[in-house]
């Protein structure tokens, strides 16, 4: 393979990647303004030029070894590049974010097999796709050999691409400096886009930037909590927090969760919060926001310092025993390094090949903990059920919702796929968890623990099953109500239960426990981004985070802030809307990203 062949092979790959990049814009939308269109024209080839140039350099180095080595390298490296882009496009189609180091660590981590559940057919289709990609890449190498254009044409083409690359970076630097939304909002569309920013240099040259009202405040030194807790409990009730992974709000009902529904109806101390929002649309953000009572954006800071939630610290200071039993692994995501750090002999995983087996195992071991603990000391329990996340239940379970489909094969799902069979399977998995909880509640009653145990039952996030026929399946892809509304039930001995319809969020749970269960007198703002759960004061806005974006919800209006300062607006079905959250809500909510930094 000659150097000229290498150049034209990389150019053909570049053209292919540009065409595939149009798919990202087809998903996210093309920007209609002239400025936005010009940036798109420069952005697509400019971003792909970096990868083409990198591939060219690698192949030139292999050509120094020999032409056959370069030819083999072209097929292997080209296939890897193509596969990476197609996998990223698939991920972006489902979740609206790109493959990242964090995501790869999660996928290949200890719990990757449990978190990312795919049927066998998915791997078969993937294998066929890999073979097809290798064949197509080989075809490009053959096509490159047949291009007769000479060195002069190659040099001219390379120089033209360099000018486009420079134009793309220059336009972004200007757009970043002047806070141009039509430029900033496009950058997250394409994978691994890192255009040039020249804010400091332009300021030194005397230019003045436009104001950037949507810029997230910079992080400083963590200051959490803002003040030491002052707590004087007279009694120390047991506390049990139960999470159901992917539990959407409308799946708490007499039909889907018959035991829980009856337990709520018949208990005088039961509260049902009908309008409750998770703090995220994925497990990390949902669990983090519940326990820390602050946005998921603080994850890296508290994890790096291994700072436990103030609730967990206060429980430890008051002599509580900890019984932490999760179906999925607690080291992927790394809850063992933040939420449950400093807990001796933390139980990391459950036994069982399937999610339903691990759910049952976690519950059984929690019951064993109750029998072995010191009855003279209060306990804090945590149970995390995972079957709904994978739409899993025992093969012989008397599933009430039929017909139900197989587990979702994301490669075969489209916006026209009928969601009903998948929804039925999801409902059956929740129904199975309800049967486990029925047994759990009965065991608590046998031990007399129902009379002195506060039970908080909710979900880490919701689960969308093509509800709007826009090809959204699962979670972490948008901030629609299907992915963010979750049930919240609280059994609180000594309180008069009721059904409460005002909006609450995961940020409100810790203040309620600290103030009412542990008798802490601090204002919630010392350690929380929320309110006391029982405080009926209207919540003007709620922060909901994903791995990559931040959403501010005010009423039914949702404004999504990306990492580049761009903002888009939606209704609660995540349909694009012209209604933004109010400037006051935006300004106040953004302060929470720096509230606990010095």
Q: Are residues 409 and 531 in the same domain?
A: yes
Whether residue 424 is found in the same domain as residue 495: yes
Q: Which of 254, 184, 270, 250 is nearest to 481 (CA)?
A: 250
Tell me: do 302 and 189 sit in the same domain.
no
Please report the pLDDT score of residue 287 as a whole number: 98
Tokens, residue 358: 């691990």
- 502 falls within a domain: yes
Sort strands 464-465 and 473-474 into parallel, antiparallel or unpaired.
Answer: antiparallel
3-class SS of residue 511:
helix
Residue 221 placed within a domain:
no
CATH of the domain at 317: 3.40.720.10
| Same-domain check for residues 171 and 315 | no
Question: Does a structural domain hold residue 209?
Answer: no
Q: Is 597 a member of any domain? A: no
Q: How far apart are the C-alpha atoms of 270 and 111, rounded to whole Å? A: 34
**Pairing outcome for strands 379-385 and 550-554:** unpaired
Residues 6+ apart with CB under 8 A from 464: 248, 472, 473, 474, 475, 477, 478, 480, 482, 483
Q: Is residue 578 part of a domain?
A: yes
Are 497 and 586 in a shared domain? yes
pLDDT in the model for residue 29: 78
246 in the same domain as 195: no
210: in domain: no
157 and 252 assigned to the same domain: no
Residue 196: CB partners within 8 Å, gap ≥ 6? 169, 170, 172, 173
pLDDT at residue 185, rounded to an integer: 73
Q: What is the mean pLDDT of each run of 10 residues along the chain (598 residues)?
A: 94 97 88 88 96 96 95 96 92 72 61 64 86 96 92 93 95 82 81 82 66 48 92 94 98 98 96 98 97 94 87 97 96 89 93 96 98 96 97 96 86 87 97 98 96 97 93 91 98 97 98 97 97 95 92 94 75 89 84 86
Q: What share of the chain is helix, strand, coil (3-state, %, to 5)?
A: 50, 15, 40
- Indicate whether 153 and 252 sit together in one domain: no
Q: Single out the residue in 152, 186, 204 at which a domain terminates.
A: 204
Same domain, 176 and 289: no
Instruction: Indicate whether 539 belongs to any domain.
Output: yes
Given 189, 204, 219, the domain boundary residue is 204
153 and 296 co-located in one domain: no
Same domain, 198 and 298: no
State the alpha helices, DSSP H only, in 495-579: 509-512
Number of domain units in the chain: 2
Q: Are residues 21 and 135 in the same domain?
A: yes
Nearest to 540 by CA among 491, 471, 499, 589: 589
Give the range of the structural domain holding residue 423, as residue numbers without chain letter. Answer: 238-591
Among 204, 228, 249, residue at a domain's last position: 204
In a domain, 115, yes or no: yes
């Amino acid at each position: 393979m000659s150097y000229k062949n290498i150049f034209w092979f990389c150019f053909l790959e570049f053209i292919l990647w540009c065409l595939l990049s149009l798919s990202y814009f087809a998903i996210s939308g093309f920007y209609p303004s002239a400025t936005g269109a010009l940036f798109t024209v420069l952005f697509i080839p400019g971003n792909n030029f970096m990868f083409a140039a990198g591939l060219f350099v690698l192949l030139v180095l292999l050509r120094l070894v020999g032409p056959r080595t370069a030819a083999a390298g072209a097929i292997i490296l080209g296939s890897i590049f193509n596969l990476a882009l197609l996998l990223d496009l698939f991920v972006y189609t489902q979740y609206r974010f790109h493959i990242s180091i964090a995501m790869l660590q999660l996928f290949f981590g200890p719990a990757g097999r449990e978190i990312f559940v795919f049927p066998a057919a998915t791997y078969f289709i993937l294998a066929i796709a890999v073979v097809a990609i290798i064949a197509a890449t080989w075809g490009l190498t053959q096509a490159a050999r047949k291009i007769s254009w000479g060195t002069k044409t190659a040099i001219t083409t390379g120089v033209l691409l360099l000018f486009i690359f420079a134009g793309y970076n220059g336009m972004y630097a200007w757009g970043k400096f002047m806070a141009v939304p039509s430029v900033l909002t496009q950058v997250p569309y394409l994978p691994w886009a890192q255009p040039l920013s020249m804010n400091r240099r332009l300021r030194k040259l005397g230019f003045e930037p436009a104001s950037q009202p949507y810029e997230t405040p910079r992080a400083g030194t963590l200051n959490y909590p803002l003040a030491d807790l002052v707590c004087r409990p007279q009694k120390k009730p047991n506390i049990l927090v139960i999470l159901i992974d992917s539990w959407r709000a409308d799946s708490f009902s007499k039909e889907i969760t018959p035991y829980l529904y009856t337990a709520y109806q018949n208990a005088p101390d039961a509260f049902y919060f009908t309008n409750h929002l998770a703090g995220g649309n994925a497990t990390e953000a949902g669990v983090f926001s519940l326990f820390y009572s602050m946005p998921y954006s603080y994850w890296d800071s508290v994890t790096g310092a291994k700072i436990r939630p103030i609730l967990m610290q206060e429980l430890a200071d008051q002599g509580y025993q900890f019984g932490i039993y999760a179906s999925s692994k607690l080291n992927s995501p790394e809850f063992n390094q933040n939420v449950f750090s400093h807990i001796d002999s933390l139980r990391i995983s459950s036994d069982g090949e399937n999610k339903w087996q691990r759910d049952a195992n976690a519950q059984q071991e929690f019951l064993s903990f109750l029998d072995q603990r010191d009855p003279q000391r209060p306990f804090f329990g945590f149970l995390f059920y995972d079957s709904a996340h994978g739409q899993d239940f025992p093969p012989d379970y008397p599933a009430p919702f039929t017909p139900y489909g197989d587990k979702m094969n994301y490669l075969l799902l489209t916006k026209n796929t009928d969601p009903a069979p998948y929804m039925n399977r999801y409902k059956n998995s929740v129904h199975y968890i309800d049967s486990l909880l029925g047994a759990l509640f009965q065991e608590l009653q046998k031990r007399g623990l129902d009379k002195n145990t506060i039970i908080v039952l909710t979900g880490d996030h919701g689960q969308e099953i093509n509800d709007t026929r826009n090809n959204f399946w699962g979670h972490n892809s948008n901030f629609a109500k299907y992915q963010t509304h979750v049930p919240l039930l609280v059994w609180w001995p000594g309180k008069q239960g009721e059904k409460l319809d005002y909006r609450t969020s995961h940020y409100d749970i810790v203040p309620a426990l600290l103030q009412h269960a542990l008798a802490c007198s601090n204002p919630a703002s010392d350690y929380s981004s929320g309110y006391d759960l029982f405080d009926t004061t209207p919540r003007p806005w709620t922060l909901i985070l994903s791995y990559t974006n931040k959403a501010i919800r005010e009423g039914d209006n949702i404004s999504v802030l990306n990492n580049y300062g761009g903002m888009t607006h939606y209704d609660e079905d995540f349909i694009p809307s012209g209604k933004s959250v109010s400037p006051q809500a935006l300004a106040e909510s953004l302060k929470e990203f720096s509230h606990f930094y010095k």
